[in-house]
Amino acid sequence: MKSSVVWWRCVSAHKSLFILLGVLTVSASEDTFASEWSISKTMTPGSVLVLSNSTIDPATGFSVFYIISADIPAGTLIDPKQLLEIQWKTTYYPQSTQEDVHLCYSRPYSSQENCERIYPNSSGTLSTFNDQAFGNGSRVKIKHSVLGGTPPLNRPAGVDSVTFRYRY
């Protein structure tokens, strides 16, 4: 009887050790998955052609920010990624009479856009797109729709910029 109790204690000790090792392994792999990165990009939107002081037909200037394989750390290109937020900063067209700005997100290699209204000459953070796929081939487009202003060309006052925060 005494030998069976000793045997049971030995099995329990080994079992506890294996459980502890399993928990540590899972914890270590979760830390590896939770690496956070950011990708920042800046671009000047194009000049827009204003034919008159019309408030009907807007001209549009774009800044398009593509995620390419060189933006993603080596060895992580095929790892699944989760978008945490998009930080943005916009310029404006000072000669225009009215301007609407939208930030549009496209999943990797998709032409479908989901857009949110943002504001000219301001900054902010969007978490609206966090449930969508992110990675090589993702795209953000900032659209400046300009109504009226000084013909023939309205030029932007500065640059648009975005920072993609993500984890893998």
pLDDT category of residue 8 using cuts at 50, 70 and 90:
very low
Task: Give the per-residue pLDDT at 149.
Answer: 84
* Statement to judge: residues 20 and 52 lie in one domain: no
Q: Please tell me whether residues 45 and 86 are part of one structural domain.
A: yes
Q: What local confidence, expressed as pLDDT, does residue 20 receive? A: 46
The answer, yes or no, to whether residue 89 has pLDDT greater than 90, is yes
Same structural domain, 20 and 94: no
Q: Do 9 and 79 belong to one domain?
A: no
116: left (phi over 0), alpha (psi -120 to 50) or beta: beta
Q: How many domains, in total, are found in the chain?
A: 2
For all residues of the chain together, what is the average pLDDT? Answer: 85
Q: In the chain, pLDDT over 90 holds for what percent of residues? A: 66
Dump pLDDT digits (tens) for 32-49: 556 999 999 999 999 999
Residues 3 and 74 in one domain: no
89 and 102 fall within a common domain = yes
Residue span of the structural domain in which 105 resides: 36-167
Predicted TM-score of the model (pTM): 0.78
| pLDDT tens digits for range 46-60 | 999 987 766 678 899
Q: Are 144 and 157 in contact (CB under 8 A)?
A: no
Domain co-membership, 56 together with 13: no
Are residues 54 and 97 located together in one domain of the fold? yes
CA-atom Rg of the chain in angstroms: 26
Query: Do 105 and 146 lie in a common domain?
Result: yes
Q: Are residues 28 and 96 both part of a single domain? A: no
If asked whether residues 5 and 52 sit together in one domain, one would say no
Residue type, 140: V
